[in-house]
Structure 1
Amino acid sequence: MNLLPDEPNNLSLTRFESMLKTNSILFFDADQFEEIIHHYLEIGKISLAKKATKLGLEQHPTSTNLKLFQVEMFIFENELDTADALLEELYQIEQSNEEIYIQKANILSRRDDHEGAIKLLETALEITLDKADVLSLLGMEYLFLEDFENAKNSFMRCLESDDTDYSALYNIIYCFECLEENEEAIEYLNVFLNKNPYCEVAWHQIGKQYCIVEKYKKALAAFDFAIISDDRFVGAYLEKGKVLEKLNRFEEAIESYTITLGIDDPTSFALLRIGKCYEKKGNSELSLQYFTKCVEEDPLLDKGWIAITDYYYKRKDFEKALYFIDRAISIDSENVHYWKRYAKINKRLQWFEEAEAGFRKTIELGNYELETWLTRADILTKLGEYEAAINNLTQANEFYPECAEIEFRLAGLYYVTAEMHSGAFHLKNALDIEPEFFMIIEELFPMILSSKSVKEIVKNHKKTTL
């Protein structure tokens, strides 16, 4: 029961809060305390819930339900042993109280004993009158074990008990997706919709499943039904817009996204997608306006900053592109996508030291793409930082063994640094892997082509491949 102080029948809550303010002692029956505690838990005021539980037990020390609320507080504060001991006492008194089994299961779940929690919840299921809640908890335990089949079945049974439990519906679809059973999910949702034809959540979910299997016309119809069921369902308009984009119906997509701006506060996602649609329509001025609105609405959305940066990069306005990516980095300096663009832009501007720093940062942040290693090596070579280039490529070799592009570069660098033995070793490796990439030596290290060692290795390789 959700109590509101301004409702006439909720005087108990008003009296309780008045008692706290005046430090007076007023009497409440156990049921009233339960309602007060439940209200505070519902709105997240845990400290007030604890006070109500303490005062309730002072006035009703034998109340099992109040003691169970106390157990809930102990579990919330991770005092699991204390909660367990109190539950054991309650179990000796009331072995048929399902809440005792539920809270014991909660403790086992916190201790990662999900199999044990499932056994207790199955016991609770046998004695409870509210099966939906227990089935939902069972489903969650199976999810912890990544047992998606049993989780799905538990949530299905939960939804059969309460067809308005949309969290169960979402979890069922999540299980179908984890099992890669999209067609089965569609079949299940169609059956559900036959019984609940105005369930906007189910229409929304079946639309998303149709998108996954690329049945876009059916997806559009589903999202339209979701909107008919609830014309303020922002998620349905957004998903409809995404499908219309896939079908290159950009004007209609813009219309769908724009509707969401009038229903609720503008979302950065909708603003970004409108900008993308205008970009695809060739209206660069409007696309930039919406990209700008997107980052103003949510400066943490990296796709917004990337869209603006790419806008200027495509137009070869590299200095403006750099300005915006610098702003993005100042907000989130650990975003690898920002640093990749920072490096590429500086390279185009021929600011090689800054470009090298950018590529180095992308690697530090876990971007191990071959292109990143190779481009950084080429920039270091251009800067005359041969040892750093060798170290960079040696690291790259761990991720990309037997890569001719790495081997030819290492060969060139070792020859340039007069390490002839290592140079010869890598040159032979490179020629064995992919001789066509010898152009790397010609382009990056033409000064070693006259080397007797290089000529001899190339000549011998040609002889052995004839």
Structure 2
Amino acid sequence: MALEPNERPGQPIAKFESMLKTDDVYFFDAEDFQDIIHHYLNSGKISLAKKAIKISLEQHPGSIELKLLSIEVLVFENNLELAEKMLDELQLIDSSNEEIYIQRANIYSKKDNHEAAVTLLNQALNLTDDSFDIHSLLGMEYLFMDNFEDAKQNFMMCVSFDEEDYSSLYNVIYCFEFLEDYDGAIAYLNDYLERNPYSEVAWHQLGKMYFSKDMFQEALTAFDFAIISDDTFIGAYFEKGKVLEKMGRYNEAIENYETTISIEDPTSHAYLRIGRCHEKLGNFDMAKTYYYRTVHEDPLLDKGWLAITDYYIRQEDYKKALHYINKAINIDGENSKYWKKCGKIHATLNNNDEAYYAYQQAVDLGNYEFDTWFHWADTAIQNLDVHSAIEILLQGHEFYPQRCEMQYKMAGFYLLISDFPRAQYRLLNALKIDFGQLHLFKDEFPQFYNTDWAQNLIEDVKKASR
């Protein structure tokens, strides 16, 4: 049953779905089938797209366009071998069809052969005047290859074809950011805004670029223009709040964060930033309230639990701080900084075994910061395990061979176990690196500093340096 000539083109989808519910068979021309299939693919309804492809090829078995849509679905579902076989057959019929090269490029991309995909997409470019989609695909392939310069150029082409293609605009700025070319991004966005002065997206991105360069006043102006262009643009209010925070204008920052909450449902991130602003203003009860709202809104936001932890550390309520850092660790147990903070809290509470374990976890997870080794070694000493403390500092010394603090501390530790040769070696090294920091040894190990052994060694080094 064919469509009546006066039926609107927008009705094929409804007709097709009606056909699926009945035993009737309707006839559609090939272009209608293409519209139907594209509709389902764009909506993510792959099973309906496949049904439409099957019926369309029964009615139009010779349509190359419909076969190419069938291949597109095969590639999407990783049925690459059959897709390549069908492409081989189609290429014998129509070797100048750019879509054949595009689908071959998609197959190579699926196989992580992005160089081959780029070659095929460039061949497709030579076969068509409609190059928008191909430049978009090329941009993505170059991103896969970490070739941000060529990716940027292709996404720029997409924007030049359609200045409302915000997806490509975002990708252009992403490339500028990755290349750390903030000035280039600013110039590009200002040029874009000359042609599109009411683009809230471009103003928003421009504000973020100025923020990256610590150009806070310029960033504020850009975010204000984004808000003028769209007074419901939550992202602009939020980013403006961050700038105002940086400028110490906390009350104004709070106003902007509260605006985001008034426009849409509250977010944990807005609550978190409002809490931080209140804490900066000394409104500690308000800060605590908003921190708790943060984790109530999103109990899996580890940064919320961390904010509460830091709040209680500043209040010197370490038992509560420990409770909340454990909440953060339960969410992200692979975060070395959380374990380090946990170690500090345990050490303050004299939970030396737990502190030792926490610092060990921090190091195992890749935290090699100087003070991590120091604090870890100190917990070992608190447990009267001098040998472990020395071993910890020896590991840390591999990362910081020129830090005298480790050498002075190791000298003292070796003296604790009466290993005078190694103590002498470490103390000499420390004195040679920075004699002026000798007070570190004196303050921590006064029982050894005042011995004849140490004083003679110090005097020898002092004479040698004259």
**Whole-Å Cα distance in 2 between the matches of residues 65 and 329 of structure 1?**
54
**Whole-Å Cα distance in 1 between the matches of residues 358 and 324 of structure 2?**
15
Amino acid at match of 2:261: L
Of 178-187 and 357-366, deviating more is 178-187
Task: Report if aligned partners of 1:206, 1:219 keep a CA contact under 8 Å in 2.
Answer: yes
Question: Matches of residues 94-109 of structure 1 in structure 2 within 5 Å?
Answer: 94-109=94-109
Amino acid at match of 1:357: Y
**Whole-Å Cα distance in 1 between the matches of residues 354 and 150 of structure 2?**
54
Question: Matches of residues 274-285 of structure 1 in structure 2 within 5 Å?
Answer: 274-285=274-285
Tell me the equivalent position of 1:87: 87
Cα shift at 1:199:
1.2
Aligned CA distance change for structure 1 residues 239 and 387 (closer, same or farther; 3 Å): same
Cα shift at 1:25:
6.5
Cα deviations by residue, 1:166-214 (Å, 9 ceiling, x for unpaired): 1111122222233333233222222222221221111111222222333
Aligned CA distance change for structure 1 residues 375 and 56 (closer, same or farther; 3 Å): same
Tell me the equivalent position of 1:317: 317
Cα shift at 1:447:
4.7
Amino acid at match of 1:381: I
**Whole-Å Cα distance in 1 between the matches of residues 425 and 22 of structure 2?**
87
Tell me the equivalent position of 1:69: 69
Of 236-245 and 111-120, deviating more is 111-120
**Whole-Å Cα distance in 2 between the matches of residues 315 and 448 of structure 1?**
37
**Whole-Å Cα distance in 1 between the matches of residues 35 and 308 of structure 2?**
53
Amino acid at match of 1:97: N
Q: Name the SS for the 2:458 alignment partner.
A: helix
Q: Name the SS for the 1:218 alignment partner.
A: helix
Task: Report if aligned partners of 2:337, 2:367 keep a CA contact under 8 Å in 1.
Answer: no
Cα shift at 1:12:
4.3
**Whole-Å Cα distance in 1 between the matches of residues 274 and 453 of structure 2?**
60
RMSD of aligned alpha carbons: 2.7
**Whole-Å Cα distance in 1 between the matches of residues 190 and 123 of structure 2?**
33
**Whole-Å Cα distance in 1 between the matches of residues 24 and 392 of structure 2?**
73
Q: Name the SS for the 1:127 alignment partner.
A: coil
Task: Report if aligned partners of 2:302, 2:331 keep a CA contact under 8 Å in 1.
Answer: no
**Whole-Å Cα distance in 1 between the matches of residues 47 and 414 of structure 2?**
68
Q: Name the SS for the 2:265 alignment partner.
A: coil
Cα shift at 1:107:
2.2
Task: Report if aligned partners of 2:303, 2:328 keep a CA contact under 8 Å in 1.
Answer: no
**Whole-Å Cα distance in 2 between the matches of residues 176 and 326 of structure 1?**
39
Aligned CA distance change for structure 1 residues 131 and 451 (closer, same or farther; 3 Å): same
Of 429-438 and 230-239, deviating more is 429-438
Aligned CA distance change for structure 1 residues 106 and 356 (closer, same or farther; 3 Å): same
Cα shift at 1:263:
1.6
Task: Report if aligned partners of 1:30, 1:60 keep a CA contact under 8 Å in 2.
Answer: yes
Cα deviations by residue, 1:122-165 (Å, 9 ceiling, x for unpaired): 23223334322222222222333333333222222211111111
**Whole-Å Cα distance in 2 between the matches of residues 421 and 49 of structure 1?**
79
**Whole-Å Cα distance in 2 between the matches of residues 329 and 71 of structure 1?**
47
Cα shift at 1:16:
4.5
**Whole-Å Cα distance in 2 between the matches of residues 307 and 177 of structure 1?**
28
Aligned CA distance change for structure 1 residues 449 and 252 (closer, same or farther; 3 Å): closer
Cα shift at 1:453:
5.3
Question: Matches of residues 427-442 of structure 1 in structure 2 within 5 Å?
Answer: 427-442=427-442
**Whole-Å Cα distance in 1 between the matches of residues 160 and 419 of structure 2?**
74
Amino acid at match of 2:116: G
Tell me the equivalent position of 1:60: 60
TM-score by length of 2: 0.90
Tell me the equivalent position of 2:155: 155
Q: Name the SS for the 2:78 alignment partner.
A: coil
**Whole-Å Cα distance in 2 between the matches of residues 145 and 39 of structure 1?**
31
Aligned CA distance change for structure 1 residues 27 and 390 (closer, same or farther; 3 Å): farther
Task: Report if aligned partners of 1:299, 1:331 keep a CA contact under 8 Å in 2.
Answer: no
Question: Matches of residues 22-421 of structure 1 in structure 2 within 5 Å?
Answer: 28-421=28-421
**Whole-Å Cα distance in 2 between the matches of residues 452 and 217 of structure 1?**
62
Cα shift at 1:233:
0.9
Of 286-295 and 350-359, deviating more is 350-359
Aligned CA distance change for structure 1 residues 440 and 221 (closer, same or farther; 3 Å): closer
Task: Report if aligned partners of 2:302, 2:327 keep a CA contact under 8 Å in 1.
Answer: no
Of 381-390 and 211-220, deviating more is 211-220
Amino acid at match of 1:83: A
Aligned CA distance change for structure 1 residues 60 and 419 (closer, same or farther; 3 Å): farther
Cα shift at 1:245:
1.9
**Whole-Å Cα distance in 1 between the matches of residues 249 and 193 of structure 2?**
28
Q: Name the SS for the 2:73 alignment partner.
A: helix
Query: In percent, how many aligned pairs have the same letter?
Result: 50
Task: Report if aligned partners of 1:207, 1:222 keep a CA contact under 8 Å in 2.
Answer: yes
**Whole-Å Cα distance in 2 between the matches of residues 127 and 110 of structure 1?**
23
Task: Report if aligned partners of 2:310, 2:321 keep a CA contact under 8 Å in 1.
Answer: yes
**Whole-Å Cα distance in 2 between the matches of residues 318 and 130 of structure 1?**
64
**Whole-Å Cα distance in 1 between the matches of residues 48 and 452 of structure 2?**
85
Cα shift at 1:232:
1.3
Unaligned runs of 5+ in 2: 1-7
**Whole-Å Cα distance in 1 between the matches of residues 376 and 261 of structure 2?**
43
Cα shift at 1:381:
1.1
Aligned CA distance change for structure 1 residues 388 and 25 (closer, same or farther; 3 Å): farther
Cα shift at 1:265:
1.9
Unaligned runs of 5+ in 1: 1-7
**Whole-Å Cα distance in 2 between the matches of residues 388 and 199 of structure 1?**
61
Cα shift at 1:9:
6.4
Amino acid at match of 1:42: N
Task: Report if aligned partners of 2:275, 2:286 keep a CA contact under 8 Å in 1.
Answer: yes
Aligned CA distance change for structure 1 residues 34 and 444 (closer, same or farther; 3 Å): same
TM-score by length of 1: 0.90
Cα shift at 1:445:
4.0
**Whole-Å Cα distance in 1 between the matches of residues 449 and 237 of structure 2?**
63
Tell me the equivalent position of 2:5: none
Aligned CA distance change for structure 1 residues 437 and 109 (closer, same or farther; 3 Å): same
